Amino acid sequence: MTHPLIDRLTSEFSWPHLDSAHDVTEFTARPGVHVLFVPGDAARNLETADVAVILPELKQAFQGRFDCGVVGDAIEQQVREDTKVLKTPSLIFFRDGKMIGGIPRVRDWDEYMARITQILAQTADA
């Protein structure tokens, strides 16, 4: 996490920084819906900063229907492979420990709203 807009998510918003597989499992296994923000390399991918700005706005727009955590560099590759959401930056949604959807790359606002609404409507068994 070398970009100030990513650092802001953990410092200003107090989102957890998930540095190990254990951290990810513990975060996603809690009741409710949780979003993993997988930033990718902010120095090489300009979309990373965009998603770091958009995600808090999405969280607010959905009025607390999910919480968010930031995946650390050390486990990013593992998370991407485990979830099959390979492109970054990405938002990976979990309910009660099971993945229910993912959104790779930056999207326009309307697409985020439609896709997140669809993802939140799914059950963990889907």
Domains of the chain: 4-121 (3.40.30.10)
Could you tell me the mean pLDDT of each successive run of 10 residues in the chain, 126 residues long?
89 98 98 98 94 98 97 97 97 97 98 98 72
User: What does the pLDDT read at residue 125?
Assistant: 63
Q: Tell me if 64 sits within 8 A of 74, measured CB to CB.
A: no
Structure tokens belonging to residue 30:
């809690």
Residue 126: predicted pLDDT:
52
